[in-house]
Each structure stands twice: as C-alpha cells, then as structure tokens.
Amino acid sequence: MGERTIREVLKRRSEDTLRVLRQQRSMKTTGLRRRARGLRSLLIVIVLIIAAVLAYSGWLVNQAINRFAADRAANLTSGNNVTLELHSAMQFLPDTLLAATDPNFYGTGNLSVSPVTQRLVRIYFPNSPGVTADIMAIALQYTYSRTDILQNFINEVPVGLDHDRPVHGFAAAGQVYFKKPFGQLQPQDIALLVALATAPVNLDPRRDPARALTLRNGVLQRDVEQQVLNQAQANLLKKTPLDLASGSS
C-alpha cells in the first residue's frame, strides 16, 4: 500500500473517529439535559407536594382551633345545655379522670400527643385518620392550656348511654344517672362516670349494673396506683352500691 493510500485511510479513520466522538458527546449532552429536565420536574413535584401538605396541615389546624374556640366561647356541650366549670368541680374529678386515662397529662411536652387531647379531637372529628388527629391535637396543645383542654373534654366526652343515646359531659351524666347536680355527687359516683367515659364500649349502667360496678371499681384502683386514694379508702368506696336513680331504660 502506497504512502498516499495509507494517509487517505488514516484520514478516513480519523474522520470516522471524530464523527463517533461527536455523536457520543451529543448523546451524552442530550442525556444530561434529559436528566436535568427530569430532576427539575421531580423537584417541582416535591415542592408542590410539600406545599399541599403544609396547606392541608394549616387547614386542619384551623379546623381544630375553630371548633375548640367555638365550644369554649359558647360554654355549651354537644346536645346538652349543661356544663361544668373545672375550677368549680371537686378536685376528685380531674384527678380520677387523669389517673384513669392520662396520668402525664400536665407533664408531657406539646409535641407528645396527650391521650385526652387526642380523644377530644376524635370527639370533634370522629372520622379523622391517625396522623390528621395528631396534627390537630398538637395544634390545640400549642394554642390552649392543658386546663382549657381538660375543661372542654369534661363537657364533651360521651359518658355512657341513655336510651341508646350518648350522654355528653359529666354534668349531664350526673343528672341522667343520679338525678343530682354534679356538686352533690360522691367520690364513688364520680368514679362511675369516669369509668363510663373511659370504657372501651358505650354502656348504660342501669342496664348492666354488674359490669358498671366492675368498671367503677377498676377506676378506683387506678386512683390507688396514681396516689389519688390510698388502698383503704378505695376498698371502702368499692363496697358502696351504685345508687343509680331509677330510669325508664
């Protein structure tokens, strides 16, 4: 092969090589551009999702706070015009209620969802998923004092059944089951109401007094565990009858 032929072959190979290299660079650049566009699209989607989550969380917070504020301002319970001021109730009610449901109610931080606060949110919004209820509960704990939350709780929580209808609030329950103002109730009566409010199923104590008595005595024992009562006091109260007022149930 002559020298000229060799140079022509090398030249052609050189041109082919350059063309291949240019194609490779072009494909690489195109790939980088595509990946960059894909990354930008992904970032936009992430930003939109975060914005939607924040907007939804803000809406949930407003829902919870507005509902709580409405109850607090109106000083009414759901379906009953009977309310109970926490400061006027005997201390045995909040002590026993918290002993049975949430002993650390006043001791946990606002980011730790209190069972009482979460239960109140469930009363307001019964179909809320767990994470949604937690967001609302944390919002309430940051906005209101624990005492304010407990105040609304004692007037909103269902306390057993009357003619298969929930009785809302401890004051109303005292009237329904004992035909007495709350201030005239005895410690064992309050323990029964706490048991009805915290039982896993709704119960009319007049229809199933044996179970109601067992639940009440369980609450009294929780008082012992949380040092609300000593064992001797609890044993004495456990021996008392339910003393329910007669009702057409």
**110-142 residue pLDDT tens:** 888 999 999 999 998 888 878 888 888 999 999
More confident residue, 183 or 238: 238
Which residue range forms the structural domain that includes residue 222? Answer: 52-238
The pLDDT assigned to 17 comes to: 66
Within a domain: residue 247? Answer: no
Q: Which positions ≥6 away from 13 have C-beta within 8 Å?
A: none
The CATH number of the domain where 153 resides is what? Answer: 1.10.3810.10
Q: Tokens 């050189």 sit at which residue?
A: 14
The mean pLDDT value of the chain amounts to: 81
Beta bridge partners of 149: none
Within a domain: residue 12? Answer: no
d(CA 212, CA 42): 58
Structural domain total, the chain: 1
- How large a percentage of the chain has pLDDT more than 90? 47
Of the pLDDT bands very low, low, confident and very high (cuts 50, 70, 90), residue 77 is very low
69-108 residues labelled b (16+ CB within 10 A) or e (exposed): eebeeeebbeebebbbebeebeebbbbbbbbbbbeebeee
d(CA 92, CA 94): 6
Most confident among 4-13, 25-34, 62-71 (mean pLDDT): 62-71
Within a domain: residue 40? Answer: no
